[in-house]
Amino acid sequence: MSETGQARGKSRRESILQAALDCFTEHGIEGTTIEMIRDKSGASTGSLYHHFANKEDIASTLFLDGLHNYSEPLLKGLAACSDARDGIEIMVTSYIDWVTENPDWARFIFSARGRVIRGAAAEALKDNNRKQFMALRDWLQPHIEQGVLQPLPLDLYHALVNGPIQDYCRAWLAGRVRHSPRQHARTFANAAWRSVAV
Amino acid sequence: MSETGQARGKSRRESILQAALDCFTEHGIEGTTIEMIRDKSGASTGSLYHHFANKEDIASTLFLDGLHNYSEPLLKGLAACSDARDGIEIMVTSYIDWVTENPDWARFIFSARGRVIRGAAAEALKDNNRKQFMALRDWLQPHIEQGVLQPLPLDLYHALVNGPIQDYCRAWLAGRVRHSPRQHARTFANAAWRSVAV
DNA sequence: TACTGACTAGAACAAAATTCTAGAATGATA
DNA sequence: TATCATTCTAGAATTTTGTTCTAGTCAGTA
């Protein structure tokens, strides 16, 4: 019996993903080799390529998992909220909470975003985007109709509310700013509100 | 005499950069091989490695060139402007102008950002950031002292003013939104102003 | 003309990614 | 418990990609 044979099936897959995430955050995606992931996870080359098609596949799996982990609590929080001002606040804080609680994931997401994604992962990504898009639209609609929020295109809402936090969080994760995004949560929420409220 | 020997010196270097930019925007940085760049530019492997240390070097050269092309007009415009509201407007429009006039470059910058940058390029990048940082600080200071703009940390200014445009432009370049950022320039400028004005 | 240094070509080499083959662990079935 | 199909693992073999090396060519110049 092999020594590492213990970690079979799902757990082996998980260990590969975890090792890959560690390597990616430390050396960047391009900077990590399959060998690094293999050695760090304790898997063999064959095992690795049994679970994933290639390095790209590992990266996009992680990317989608990360996005999903972020958007789930956001959508849940939004669905449970009927006040416009509170909703904007939830969008801001749930983003900031996720980044500050999962800095490794967030760092990875920022670095992986913008890469060309192909195949099944691209479809899954579109799906994820569409789901988030529709949830946001459904939540906004009544507030816009009631004249509480401005009738802007949806993408503009995303830009105005998420844009500033994204930019600041990216800088924070890169170590370029001193204060945690949490300390500015109120500022961001206020700015977002002033941008989109009637 | 060799057939491609015509393109020597500076022009050969330029042709390599142009070919690389084309390949990078089409296939992503990871997706393009040295071979692609070599063939597209008409250079030989040796020539390519004479002008650049490696693929990374080509990418960071393009990255820095792109950043420089963007920040130069911005800083110039800002320096020539004394009104607070106009300055915010310039920040917004000069970003949007650059993206819409240089979509290939912008696409590349977005995809290359977040990658690990090492060595001399990292220093040059820091330098560029520092220069932009200081210019922004010098421009803001008097307006803050006069009580026209809020006394926020500099990074927050960047996030509030640039964040939304960045997010929207990224979506536009990816073909995810219909309207050009230009059509929303006023909205972005207004939102930015409301975010940072006293 | 002969010399210099920047530049180029393409073969040789090294490193990394991916495939392949043989076999071990696991769980279902008789 | 024996056997069988399936999933999974190991590591060697192969392919692809990146980088270096060597022998030059070319343009300018003394």
Q: What are the pLDDT digits (tens) for B73-92?
A: 999 999 999 999 999 999 99
CA distance B159 to chain A (A): 4
pLDDT value at residue B171: 96
Interface test with B, best of A92, A156, A184, A196 (most B CBs within 10 A): A156
Question: What's the confidence (pLDDT) of residue B7?
Answer: 57
List bases in chain C with any atom under 7 Å of a protein Cβ. 6-12, 16-22, 24-26
In this predicted structure, what is the pLDDT of residue B6?
44
The reported pLDDT for the residue numbered A119 is 87
Say how far apart CA A140 and CA A129 lie, in whole Å. 16
pLDDT digits (tens, 9 = 90+) for A126-155: 999 999 999 999 999 999 999 999 999 999
Of the candidates A87, A70, A69, the residue with the CA atom closest to the CA atom of residue A78 = A87
Average pLDDT, chain A: 92
- Gyration radius of chain A over CA positions: 20
Report the residue from B30, B116, B167 with minimal CB separation from A163.
Answer: B167
What does R_g of chain B's alpha carbons equal in angstroms?
20
Compute φ and ψ for A149, nearest 5 degrees: -115, 150
User: What are the CA-CA distances from residue A183 to residues A174, A192, B83, B177, B196 (Å)?
Assistant: 17, 16, 30, 32, 17
Residues of chain B with pLDDT under 50: 1-6
Distance CA B197, CA B146 (A): 11
Q: Tokens 């579109």, residue?
A: A126
Q: Which domains does chain A have, with CATH numbers?
A: 1-52 (1.10.10.60), 63-196 (1.10.357.10)
